[in-house]
């Protein structure tokens, strides 16, 4: 991306120093994201590829505010939203972020409208 565009426009999403760790038992943790930096510009399309277990879903869940990162920043429109409370994160997901799973996970007991309306 040209520096002119960077100066004139703010990123839609930025990740700074993002880490994500999971407990694996015995007091140990598995670090799947290690200091990830990423900028996504308005209108830009980004694809994530990698082998199973490489952290793609963890990255998307943190960027989409479905999970909290272990550390680092998730910036939407320049605002750090990683540490907001659950209600604020839900409002952002409702109004700002779209998240579509590769394999849909619909709840059979709900109608299509009810499934889409879930926060």
> For the segment 14-28, what is each residue's pLDDT rounded down to a tens digit?
999 999 999 999 999
Tokens 């990830």 appear where? 36
Q: Domain range spanning residue 89? A: 3-117
pLDDT band at 77 (very low <50, low <70, confident <90, very high): confident
Contact 19, 72 (CB under 8 A): yes
Query: pTM for this structure?
Result: 0.76
Provide the CATH number for the domain around residue 46: 3.40.50.300
Both tokens of residue 48? 């994530």
**Number of domains composing the chain:** 1
Based on its alpha-carbon atoms, the radius of gyration of the chain, rounded to whole angstroms, reads 16
């Amino acid at each position: 991306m040209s520096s002119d565009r960077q100066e004139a426009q703010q990123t839609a999403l930025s990740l700074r120093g993002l880490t994500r760790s999971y407990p694996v038992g015995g007091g140990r943790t598995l670090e799947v994201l290690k200091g990830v930096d990423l900028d996504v510009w308005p209108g830009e399309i980004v694809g994530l590829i990698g082998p199973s277990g490489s952290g793609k879903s963890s990255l998307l869940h943190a960027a989409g505010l479905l999970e909290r990162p272990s550390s680092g920043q998730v910036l939407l429109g320049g605002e750090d939203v990683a540490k907001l409370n659950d209600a604020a994160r839900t409002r952002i997901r409702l109004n700002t972020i779209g998240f579509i799973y590769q394999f849909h996970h619909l709840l059979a007991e709900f109608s299509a409208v009810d499934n889409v309306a879930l926060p």
